[in-house]
Structure 1
Amino acid sequence: MDQTHSLDMLERHPDKVSGAWVFKGTRVPVAALFENLKDGASIDQFLEWFPGVSRAQVEALLDYELTMLEQMAS
């Protein structure tokens, strides 16, 4: 998945959730995904807890992050 498409899954507005990056069309901060995964939640649990977020959005974000890490390593 290309990086531009991945970033299309996110948005950031100064007047929405204190300017935090959120999943597009929601008020769910991107940080919530990483915090929940860090605490042991599965992607399925996260999607259940935050029904406005789609699996495609989560997968696009994780793909983007993986690509960024791979680029940093090379």
Structure 2
Amino acid sequence: MEIREIILVDNDILGGQPVFKGTRVPVESFFDHLEAGVPLEEFLDDFPTVSREQAVALLEIANKLLTSKNIEALYATVA
């Protein structure tokens, strides 16, 4: 699954905040829940419009991004 199939950025939805495509659930909420120790199942129960496939695919993309040899480009982006 490609990132454009998972995340949508649209100024008409939550002011352009990245959301799970087809929902109004901010991607940030997903990571906030995980950071707080909330299990994936509980997040999915709390936000039933987000599919398990979307959540797992986002984690896989984040893993690839953060473990790739291109991490220097990420440093430059978030600096």
2:51 paired residue among 33, 41, 54:
54
Q: Secondary structure at the match of 1:44?
A: helix
2:33 corresponds, among 30, 36, 40, to: 36
Please report the RMSD computed on the Cα atoms of aligned residues, expressed in angstroms.
1.4
- State the alpha-carbon separation in 2 of the partners of residues 64 and 29 from structure 1: 16
1:26 corresponding residue in structure 2: 23
By how many angstroms is 1:18 displaced? 1.4
The TM-score, its normalising length taken from structure 1, stands at 0.88
When the two structures are superposed, what TM-score results if normalisation uses the length of structure 2? 0.82
Q: Structure 2 counterpart of 1:20, which letter? A: Q
What is the CA-CA distance between 1:6 and the residue it aligns to? 3.3
Q: How many residues align?
A: 70
Identity across matched positions, percent: 39
Runs (4+) of structure 1 moved beyond 6 Å? none
Deviation at 1:7, TM superposition (A): 3.2
1:8 Cα deviation after fit: 1.4
How many angstroms apart in 2 are the aligned matches of 1:7 and 1:45?
25
Give structure 2 stretches of 5+ with no counterpart. Answer: 73-79
Q: Which segments of 5 or more consecutive residues in structure 1 lack a partner in the other structure?
A: none
